[in-house]
Amino acid sequence: MKKDLLKLLDLSKEDMEAILNKADQLKYEQKHGIPQKYLEGKTLAMIFEKNSTRTRVSFETGMYQLGGHALFLSGKESQIGRGEPVEDTARVLSRYCDGIMIRTFAQSEVEELAKYASIPVINGLTDFCHPCQVLADLLTIREHKAVLEGLKLCYIGDGNNMANSLIAGGLKMGMEVAAACPEGYDPDPQVLAFAQSDPAFHFSLCRAPQDAAAGADVVFTDVWASMGQEEEKAKRAKAFQGYCVDASLMALTHPGCMVQHCLPAHRGEEISAQVFEDHAHEIFDEAENRLHAQKAVMCLLMSQ
Ligand code: CP
Ligand code: NVA
């Protein structure tokens, strides 16, 4: 049976640990010039219905480093943009390729693609979640802090795809998770239900960023208007006043607290320029780890 990566809610702690451990191995090999052609002769189709810098470059470079090939399909320029049904695209690509990465709007489109494809499907971001990003984030935190279990992860801002994946991933890995979102911008109800489903989970959702940041070991934030929400930019800028990760918020966190941002960042909105630059080494480690985490995902899903 082929396996997919559609959302972190589908993965166990052991699945995520296996990905992080494989990523450690692949990162070590790459840094030491050890050959890693584990996907020789394999092709990954990459469907993009939204913009990307990191996801596209890290998947394409990752496939090259693993001895395979990646091909870019833009929604607009392929038949997908002209309305070819997703179940047909899935069955066609399954005849040519060994895996599909898709970035799109609706999570249901990714789930539908996976249902009809006979090859692994990897979610490269939907409105609902961003699992590849959060695997890279967990890898980065583990590198910096040695462990994940027991750390307090704080998320400040929009209850969007990043918030949803961080809550699912953080709780599954045994982290305490606190999110602060303005009213009307809460994480997805499915994720909130998951967070409440196990008495062992330490989860809180609050309105005041200060409450979430208190004693945090890692602070996350993300843009206030995600891709597809450009028209809401002004309305959101108002709703998110007071939700900037700045020095006064960081003063409430645990000493040595990390800052993570999936990027692109808007300095002076969700994060101050000072906090961004003070933590730039961690943020760009996080960006680099997209490469290693996704290579791990591709190896684990596509090497059979
Ligand atoms: N963080 C992230 O997914 O970046 P891109 O939108 O550039 O791929
Ligand atoms: N929440 C952002 C993440 C970008 C990587 C968006 O969906 O646009």
Q: Of residues 222, 257, 294, 299, which has the active-site annotation?
A: 222
Query: Which ligand is located closest to the Cα atom of residue 134?
Result: 1
The pLDDT score that the predictor gives to residue 46 is 98
- For ligand 1, atom 6, which residue shows the shortest CA distance? 52
Q: Quick one: pLDDT at residue 254?
A: 98
The answer to whether 5 and 16 have CB atoms below 8 angstroms apart is no
Cis peptide bond N-terminal to 264, omega within 30: yes
Q: 39 burial class (0-12, 13-18, 19+ CB within 10 angstroms)?
A: buried
CA–CA separation, 164 and 158 (whole Å): 10
232-289 pLDDT, tens digit each = 999 999 999 999 999 999 999 999 999 999 999 999 999 999 999 999 999 999 999 9
Can 133 be counted among the known catalytic residues? Answer: yes
Q: Is 236 in the pocket of ligand 1 (CB under 6 A)?
A: no
Task: Report CA(63)–ligand 2 centroid distance (Å).
Answer: 23
- Whether 236 sits among the annotated catalytic residues: the reply is no
For residue 180 the two structure tokens come to: 């602060």
pLDDT at 280: 98
Phi, psi of 292 (to 5 degrees): -70, -40
User: What confidence tens digit (pLDDT) does each residue in 97-138 have?
Assistant: 999 999 999 999 999 999 999 999 999 999 999 999 999 999
Residues 6+ apart with CB under 8 A from 74: 48, 49, 81
Query: What is the mean predicted confidence (pLDDT) over 132-147?
Result: 99
Maximum C-alpha span of the chain: 55
54 lines ligand 1 (CB under 6 A): yes
Closest ligand 2 atom, CA of 161?
1
pLDDT score, position 240: 98
Query: What integer pLDDT is reported at residue 250 of this predicted model?
Result: 98
3-state secondary structure of 127: coil
Residue nearest to atom 1 of ligand 1 (CA): 262
43-53: average pLDDT = 98
User: pTM score, two decimals?
Assistant: 0.98
Q: What is the distance in A from the centroid of ligand 2 to the CA of 224?
A: 9
Q: Give the nearest ligand 2 atom to 125 CA.
A: 7
What pLDDT digit, counting tens, does each position of 155-211 carry?
999 999 999 999 999 999 999 999 999 999 999 999 999 999 999 999 999 999 999
CB 120 within 8 A of CB 285: no
Angle, CA of 184, 188 and 192, to the nearest 5°: 105
pLDDT exceeding 90 applies to what percent of the chain?
99
Residue with tokens 């961080």, as numbered in its chain: 166
pLDDT value of residue 304: 73
Q: Look up 274 and say whether it is catalytic.
A: no
Spatial CB neighbours of 174, under 8 Å, sequence gap ≥ 6: 13, 148, 149, 150
pLDDT of residue 101: 98
Percent of the chain surpassing pLDDT 70: 100
- Residue 290 a catalytic site member: yes
Mean of pLDDT over the chain: 98
Q: How many CA atoms lie within 13 A of 2 on its CB side?
A: 19
Residue 129: active-site member: no
What does DSSP say about strands 99-103 and 152-156: parallel, antiparallel, or unpaired? unpaired
Q: Report the DSSP beta bridge partners of residue 245.
A: 271
In whole angstroms, give the CA distance from residue 229 to residue 224.
9
Residues with Cβ within 8 Å of 8's Cβ and at least 6 positions away in sequence, in order, are: 16, 129, 131, 134, 135, 165, 168, 169, 172
Q: Check 290, 292, 294, 299 and give the catalytic one.
A: 290
Closest residue to atom 3 of ligand 1, CA basis: 55
**Could you report how far apart the first and last alpha carbons of the chain are, in Å?**
10
pLDDT at 234: 98
According to DSSP, the residues that pair with 123 across neighbouring strands are 102
Interatomic CA distance for residues 173 and 152, integer angstroms: 11
Closest CA to 294 of 67, 6, 117, 58: 58
Residue 1 has pLDDT above 90, yes or no: no
Ligand 2 residue neighbourhood (C-beta within 6 Å): 125, 160-162, 222-223, 226-227, 262
